[in-house]
Structure 1
Amino acid sequence: MPQEAGLRSFFLAGFECATQRRADGKRLDLLASTRHDAHVAKDYARIREHGMRAARDGMRWHLIETAPGFYDWSSVAPMASAAAEAGVQVIWDLCHYGYPDGLDIWSPAFPERFARFSKAAARFLAEQGDEVRYFCPVNEMSFWAWAGGDMGRFNPTARGRGDELKRQLARATIAAVDAVREVDARARFIVAEPSINVAPNGDSEQAIADAANYCEVQFAAHDMLVGRLNPELGGSPDKLDIVGVNFYPDNQWVLGGPPIPLGQYNYRPFREMLKETCERYGRPVIVSEFGAENTARPAWLYYVAQEVAAAREAGAPVEGMCFYPVLDYPGWENDRCCDVGLFGDADANGDRCVYAPLAEELRRQRVRFEGEFAAANDERMTPLRREAS
């Protein structure tokens, strides 16, 4: 029987921690640009005020490994201390699209160095206290393979090499899991991958088959980890622990065409997608990312929560939902303000306003998933200072 996820709260806060280099060479650092790194203690206390006692956050590999095999943990230590002080359980992203300059992602050195970094990260955290640590080794292997390996949108800015990049990222993940377990046999791992539905662009048998084949690709990274696909990578069933699925409003589209709007005849209910994932892998599942922009935020929370509840009622072990990101952030490509979070930009004191409609919908959903007592007895409730748009 698979072990339960063991999260401290059903709802989690996700802090955007992408660190890739764009095609123009600019290095992104979302922990810095959202000022979460500067105000992490207040941010962790703030999510606790809204009942979230677990979070996804990130280590910035390119900042930590200052030279091959040399690690500077000064960017992580304040975050680990703040999490302990706030009582927040952190799932640490070890590689969120970014890696050190000078490291060839296509070479055998990449999974080897990542494994050594992951082992060092586990050792560092073990020194901070005796608790079960959670890791997401490589975030969204499938999306990274598409964006960085096929479309040239960010590192390694390749085209036509997506499958090769996905295998390399899976190889690195497998190596990292083994390396972390050498230090901490209790460590837990989450694999966060997009959950998609692709509808056929016609009624022909070929169109239907092409769409079905594209849908199947969403499981390739998981299948590599468990050894069903490309077993030469070293995958085995124990490499897959908690399955994370990322789900956004544009995760369903017509093959070669536009997104499918919610409610359209060919929009697949998310409950079915969750149930399929649970049955395929027999592991605990969390919605590791979900969110929408502007005034769609509370409605999207409501929809995803409805589908999660239905999946759970049908027996699917869905054990958590992670707001991602929980902070508004500057867009990757143009720095525009993306109003996606429960909280806005930080002021000079590190205070952030709250998006009231989303906070209220979260309160209602906490009643559903955690009970009246949990929702009514948060330690501190921040005034809802942002008016509905």
Structure 2
Amino acid sequence: MSTSFLDIIQQRQGGGPAAGDEFGGAQGHDGSGLPSAQASNFMFATGIECSYPTIQGGRVRRDQLEECGHYERWRDDLRLVKELGLRFLRYGLPYHRVHLGPGHYDWEFADQAMAELRRLGITPILDLLHFGVPDWLGNFQNPELPVHFAAYVEAVARRYPWVRYYTPVNEIYVTARASGRDGLWNEQLKSEIGFVTALKHATAANILACHAIARVRPDAIIVQSESAEFLHDASTRRRPEIALQNRLRFLAFDLLYSVPPDADICLYMMDNGLTREEYQWFMAGEPPGHQIMGNDYYGRNEKIVKPDGTVCIAEDVLGWSQITRAYYERYRKPVFHTETNVFDPEQAPAWLWKQWMNVLSMRQEGVPVLGFTWYSLIDQIDWDIQLAEQRGTVNACGLYDLNRQPRPVAAAYRELLEHFGQITLMAHGEFFEITDQPARLKVEV
């Protein structure tokens, strides 16, 4: 029998170099190994839960950084991120504590935490408004919010000019719905006008924030985080109110990215307080910065509305990949899986791998998914009831518990990182990497 060329390669080169594939690209690397600093690397992240809405008519602030012990243990928390092997962290400065009034800031905590992030080599995706505003600004019904927030954002960008990644306003749609229509937080309204008002103010704040950041960092990367949701209508008779909700879920991105909503949604907005001039302002063009569309997905984001109107969780009927594909086809933006978790710590490792398979499936179909986040680093408090009441229930969804001890999902994430930590940003994406080139501003606002 003749000698095979594979035998010769094995004898003389110990197997020879890897061929390179969709994960490692033309580097001849399979993509395994903990995340590195290479600009072509996929972005693996976690986040530190930093919500701070008010409840009980504004009398009580639900500050998750405080309730979960981060203000006292921030050094431990940042060290855990580093030790796990992650290079990216969704990190929120406490807006309500830093911005004390027009032109007045308290940077003490922020300076300490940001310096430690920089020392550890962790890249923050800086979250600037997470479900709440300072007391002096009131709530999301305040039309002065966008200009005051933009001034704060520019102050942040100038104080930390080394930061490039930002989420200006987290989950605009959820913010507006919980504050203006569901009556859970902040203004605690239960009206369509309250929802539309909160939505337009939060979106305008996000747009002006992008401009403020771009004045300091023309190469800014905006990772916009929004909830990926869907309602399944389990009825033989089509229910228009469910169809409406499935269209309203796009509204924050429509206004942010200047994608005209359909006629029915335009009429809905104008019936509930959006003026023609405001609509034209939103449609003038998308904001500056390299825009990445972040989609958050929890099993409870997807629901079935049964024939009698009761609701049950639909977890994974469609899943993150199918729901996010609808967003991608609408906006054609690079994608980031910006949040996921599950409250059962024993089920969390399987959920992590299921979400990762969703990411790989999207990439194999040619969708540019650039990053993945397990949210959050540590357990949360009362998110099973969306922070609406102070019950003190620990939601065991973190990589670590509140004593900073690892949960099973921490080992699962480390394993995932060891096998996929150096894959390229995009499948077969050796030509794509994040550079320091400025984004091109399409339109001045």
TM-score (norm: length of structure 1): 0.85
Q: Which residue of 2 aligns with 1:80?
A: 114
How many equivalent pairs are there?
Answer: 352
Q: Give matches, 1:16-95, under 5 Å.
A: 16-24=49-57, 25-95=59-129
* Cα distance change, pair 145–7 in 1 and its aligned pair in 2 (3 A): farther
Q: Give matches, 1:1-389, under 5 Å.
A: 10-24=43-57, 25-104=59-138, 105-126=140-161, 131-160=162-191, 161-204=194-237, 206-207=238-239, 210-229=241-260, 230-233=279-282, 236-239=285-288, 241-255=291-305, 256-262=309-315, 267-294=317-344, 295-331=346-382, 332=387, 333=389, 334-346=391-403, 352-355=404-407, 357-370=408-421
Alpha-carbon offset, residue 259 of structure 1: 2.8
* Rg larger in structure: 2
Q: 5+ unaligned residues in a row in structure 2: which ranges?
A: 1-38, 261-278, 424-445
Alpha-carbon offset, residue 227 of structure 1: 1.7
Alpha-carbon offset, residue 235 of structure 1: 5.3
Instruction: Detail structure 1 runs of 4+ shifted over 4 Å in the superposition.
Output: 6-9
Is the 8 Å Cα contact of residues 193 and 244 (structure 1) preserved in structure 2?
yes
TM-score (norm: length of structure 2): 0.74
Q: Distance in 1 between matches of 2:311 and 2:123?
A: 38
Alpha-carbon offset, residue 329 of structure 1: 2.3
- Give the counterpart letter for 2:148 in structure 1: R
Is the 8 Å Cα contact of residues 171 and 234 (structure 1) preserved in structure 2?
no
Q: Which residue of 1 aligns with 2:13?
A: none
* Cα distance change, pair 8–83 in 1 and its aligned pair in 2 (3 A): farther
Alpha-carbon offset, residue 341 of structure 1: 0.4
Q: 5+ unaligned residues in a row in structure 1: which ranges?
A: 1-5, 347-351, 373-389
Q: Distance in 2 between matches of 1:132 and 1:186?
A: 10
Is the 8 Å Cα contact of residues 157 and 163 (structure 2) preserved in structure 1?
no
Q: C-alpha offsets along residues 208-231 of structure 1, whole Å, 9 cap, x if unaligned?
A: x65443222221111101222433
Q: C-alpha offsets along residues 85-122 of structure 1, whole Å, 9 cap, x if unaligned?
A: 11100011111112111314323321110010111111
Is the 8 Å Cα contact of residues 247 and 289 (structure 1) preserved in structure 2?
yes
SS in 1 for 2:136: coil
* Cα distance change, pair 97–221 in 1 and its aligned pair in 2 (3 A): same
* Cα distance change, pair 10–181 in 1 and its aligned pair in 2 (3 A): closer
Structure possessing the higher relative contact order (Cα contacts under 8 Å, 6 or more residues apart): 2
Is the 8 Å Cα contact of residues 44 and 421 (structure 2) preserved in structure 1?
no
